[in-house]
Amino acid sequence: MFGGVSASAVIGRRGLLTGAASLGGAVLIGTPRASAAPASPMLWQRPDRSGAPRVAGLHLQFGADASREVVVSWHTTVSVSGPTVLLGSPGGGFGHTEAAETTTYRDAKSGTEVQVHHARLTNLRPDTDYVYAATHDGAAPELGTVRTAPRGRAAFTFTSFGDQGTPTLGRLSGTTWVNDNLGSPAGGDVTAGVERIAPLFHLVNGDLCYANLATDRIRTWSDWFENTSRSARYRPWMPAAGNHENELGNGPVGYGAYQTYFTVPDAGAEEPLRGLWYSFTAGAVRIISLNNDDVCYQDGGNSYVRGYSGGAQQRWLERELAASRANPDIDWIVVCMHQVVVSTVDKFNGADRGVRESWVPLFDRYGVDLVVCGHEHHYERSHPVRGQQPNDTLTPIPVATGTDTIDTTKGTVHMVIGGGGTSVPSNQLFFNPARCRVITGVGPVDSSTGKRSPIYVTEDAPWSAVRDPDHAYGFAAFDVDPGRPGGTTAIHVTYYAVAGPYGDLTPVDRFTLTRPRKH
């Protein structure tokens, strides 16, 4: 409690301690209690007038076991002291404090150093609601809530989209401010739409804010967190790094900003590659997040980094897939990545043979159920696929053609969910009938762009199942149904189109994934 005001009553007030009891310049904060006994107060200093920066960009990530571990993060552009998170229960108060660790990067374009403060909360109870407050010396606390994942087979919902950008204007063009990171107001609308569903967690399928295109990369990241914190302070937004997270000069392979802003589960990668791939478990679902730029042919970032891990990511992926499929407590394997295996739009990025030749055989071998991507700025999904044609493009082979209920033990469903808010949607570019342009390699550097020119081969698309030409923006929601022992488990999927500042939702596509429970 805040001096007689329950913690739940102040959530959403942007950290204001209105109504809290005070003692001089301090606030009394009650510790959690199981009965009506008086709360034992903790002393929390009110913000002073020292000019300390506010708690900005508050967001959450799960740990490797989403039922037990959450990381709370925020950022500043100056040094602060005492970064701390207070943790408690909605009906009790804040009885636990956790010091945050600070990581930094210096943006190579502006020279600005960003400090990101990460407080790791461990030994939490599964399937439990918590309240927390993030603060540092001199700053008003910012509050949020989080629910840990269930442990074992249980029902929950998660959501997914990619390619968001920001709804803000970041560059002055003459006398007019414009958006310079491929964002649009829809980026705010889709955040509001996710909150209408209120999932346990949200997957961001790469190209978060397109900071590498922006005049001011720091401002662009800040604007993205200002928008997404409306959701990400209440539920973990779990990211995959896309090609537009590759920023020239930031870190050994260009992902220094991304690696600093997010503390994701440790995958044992060497320090320069930390956080670029990872996995976590929620219920009986294993989520595996990958960075495709390591295997893609396309030259799509600020620097060409194909092969940057020297095969480390692929070796980790195979170990992870093998362990997940063998684990009796995991029914579902879901891969989140940016670039795509399938796409039926013309004059856009296209599919990438690099992913098809490096990772799709692993998806097949270990029975990945679902792959969610962005990169193409529209919505479509494949039939379940397994195996590849022996041609230049390694065309995926559909194993069934029903679109309502899909048995994923027979093949993997690929979803393109790239309508997160970008100003350049691709939903009006579909081939009719369905075809696919596949990047099979790159040519020499084009002197006019500084990029390696893609080499395209066009293929038939027998794997194409459902496409949405009518809506530019939206996201998918996944309702996990654990089923019963000895029976089947299911994921009920709905793709929602989003329109308007309040995130109005229109269901566009519904289908169900099924597979036998392991026990």
The answer on pLDDT for 324 being more than 60 is yes
Residue 11 has pLDDT above 50, yes or no: no
Minimum mean pLDDT range among 49-53, 385-389, 425-429: 49-53
From 16-30, 374-388, 419-433, the region with the lowest mean pLDDT: 16-30
CB distance 311 to 347 below 8 Å: no
Any idea what the Cα angle at residue 280 is, between residues 314 and 297, rounded to 5°? Answer: 30
Strands 56-62 and 70-76: antiparallel
What average pLDDT does the segment 439-448 reach?
94
pLDDT > 70 in the chain, percent: 90
> What does the pLDDT average to over 33-40?
37
Beta bridge partners of 92: none
Alpha-carbon distance values, 172 to 107, 168, 216 (Å): 21, 12, 11
Q: Hey, how many other C-beta atoms are within 10 angstroms of the C-beta on 63?
A: 23
In the prediction, which pLDDT does 393 show? 98
The residue among 403 and 48 whose pLDDT is bigger is 403
Backbone angles phi, psi at 369, to 5 degrees: -85, -40
Question: Measured between alpha carbons, how far is residue 65 from residues 45, 73, 283, 345 in Å?
Answer: 34, 18, 9, 38
How many Å apart are CA 292 and CA 449, to the nearest integer? 22
Looking at per-residue pLDDT, the higher value among 315 and 18 belongs to: 315
Angle at the Cα of 476 from the Cα atoms of 474 and 480, rounded to 5 degrees: 160
**Model confidence at 29: pLDDT above 90:** no
Mean pLDDT of 329-358: 98
pLDDT tens readout for residues 246-268 = 999 999 999 999 999 999 999 99
| CA gap 224, 441 in Å, rounded | 33
Q: In whole angstroms, how large is the CA radius of gyration of the chain?
A: 23
Q: pLDDT tens digits for 450-473?
A: 999 999 999 999 999 999 999 999
Q: Is the pLDDT of residue 10 over 60?
A: no
Q: 76: how many CB neighbours lie within 10 A of its CB?
A: 21
Given the structure tokens 């950290």, which residue do they identify?
Answer: 15
Q: How many other CB atoms are there within 10 angstroms of residue 414's CB atom?
A: 27
Beta strand 464-468 with 396-398 is unpaired
> For position 164, what pLDDT does the model report?
98
Res. 448: pLDDT tops 60: yes
Q: Examine the pLDDT at 427 and tell me if it is beyond 80.
A: yes
Report the share of the chain in percent with pLDDT over 90.
Answer: 89
Q: Is the pLDDT of residue 24 over 90?
A: no
pLDDT in tens, 473-489: 999 999 999 999 999 99
Q: CA of 205: how far to CAs of 159, 283, 470, 475, 518, in Å?
A: 11, 21, 21, 11, 28
pLDDT in tens, 494-510: 999 999 999 999 999 99
DSSP state of 168: S
H helices present in 147-200, as ranges: 186-197
| DSSP code at position 357 | H
Whole-prediction pTM: 0.92
Query: Parallel, antiparallel, or unpaired: how do β-strands 370-373 and 413-417 relate?
Result: parallel
HEC-encoded secondary structure of 130-152 = EEEEEECCCCCCEEEEEECCCEC
- Asked if residue 2 has pLDDT above 60, the reply is no
How much is the pLDDT for 305? 97
The token pair that represents 67 in the structure block: 């039922």
Tokens of 225: 């967190």
Q: Is 121 left (phi over 0), alpha (psi -120 to 50) or beta?
A: beta
